[in-house]
Structure formats: C-alpha cells, structure tokens
C-alpha cells in the first residue's frame, strides 16, 4: 500500500490533492519499509500518503 500515494491526475476521482515526492525521498522511504523499520505500523497508515514521515504521522493518528 505504501506506493499508493495520491497522484495529481487522480485528484478528480479521489478528492485527495496530489502529492509530489522526489525520487530520492521515495527510494529512502521504501528502503526503510523493506528493512522492516516500520513493521509495527498498521497497514492503513501507508495508504494514500506521500512519504514515510507522513505515514508515521498517520499511524500515530490511527492509534490514538
């Protein structure tokens, strides 16, 4: 679910504004996921977010 970030072209269908994430940031975030650094986070935290920092913040909101 992590790579399901909100794309600008899908905004009219999802109602969520598109988010631009630089390639280097995407690679770093995905590397952290592959290394298991965020295995404790709920799966929903990874859905429709831009980068790993946004996913971490969403996980905190979901757990509250």
pLDDT at residue 17 greater than cutoff 90: no
- Average pLDDT of the segment spanning 20-26: 91
Residue 12 C-alpha from the chain's centroid: 19
pLDDT of residue 16: 80
Question: If one looks up domain 8-63 in CATH, what number appears?
Answer: 1.10.1140.10
- Average pLDDT of the segment spanning 42-50: 91
Q: If residue 61 lies in a helix (H) or strand (E), which one and from where to where?
A: helix 52-63
The string of pLDDT tens digits covering residues 28-42 is 999 999 999 999 999
- How far is residue 35 from each of residues 21, 28, 32, 38, 52, measured CA to CA in Å? 20, 11, 5, 8, 13
- What confidence category does residue 18 fall into, taking pLDDT thresholds of 50, 70 and 90? confident
- Can you give the pTM of this predicted structure? 0.78
């Amino acid at each position: 679910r992590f790579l399901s970030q909100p794309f600008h072209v899908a905004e009219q269908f999802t109602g969520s504004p598109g988010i631009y994430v630089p390639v280097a940031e995407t690679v770093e975030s995905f590397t952290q996921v592959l290394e298991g650094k965020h295995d404790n986070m709920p799966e929903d935290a990874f859905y429709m977010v831009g980068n790993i920092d946004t996913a971490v913040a969403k996980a905190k909101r979901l757990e509250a």
